[in-house]
Amino acid sequence: MSVPRPEESRPSTGKSLWYRGRQMSSTTSSASGFLSSPRAQRLLMWISGAVLAIGIAVFLGVYLTRGTSTPAPANVSTLSSGPSSTKPATKNPTVAPSADALQVARTFLETAVLRQNLDAAYKIVGPDLKGGMTRAQWRKGDIPVQPYPAINAKSAKFHITESHPNQLFAQVVLYPRKGSGVSKGLAFNLGVQRLGGKWLVNYWLPLPQIKVRADPYTN
């Protein structure tokens, strides 16, 4: 059995170190060469920029959303569910019909509707019914008021539909005089307004769709 010589069992130290050193030198030079290339530098620059942009976006998102959370609901037990102790003021309260307004409405029936004493009618008619007509034009009788040959102009009852401090609305049923050529009664809507401190008839509209009772003046 042969025993190897000590010289043969020991590796060649100088050759091994040289080989390893060459390997390390090759690896280091490859890495430094890659980092020093323009392409690698541009890649690193883009990566750094992306990381910076993400960081800024996260910071702004956190900063801008501060204080926008929904506040906690109020303590319901501290809120009063009962009615308010003060009532809101009514802008147009309902009041009893004005006697002056009803008198103007009556005069309107006896003058404008019957086409009698048109000068008196002109004084108690509002601008909506006058339509800009002068007194001279009004006297001619061709006025924007639906006429009716009423036998009960002095006694027809006003059925109040609304009554306010400056307005009154009512319905009235008129029946024809004998020999007038009109055979049926007709209902009307009438509106009186307080304008400039005076009550004036400003609305007059026939209601043919409303059925009225038989003419009591022919029975």
Non-local CB neighbours of 2 within 8 Å, separated by 6+ positions: none
Output the pLDDT for position 135.
96
Residues 142 and 194 in one domain: yes
Structure token digits, residue 154: 């002095």
Output the pLDDT for position 32.
52
Expressed as residue numbers, the domain containing 149 is 99-218
Residues 58 and 104 in one domain: no
Output the pLDDT for position 44.
66
Residues 58 and 107 in one domain: no
Residues 104 and 202 in one domain: yes
CB atoms within 10 A of CB 206: 13
Confidence band, pLDDT 50/70/90 cuts, at residue 145: very high
Structure token digits, residue 161: 């539909």
Residues 188 and 127 in one domain: yes
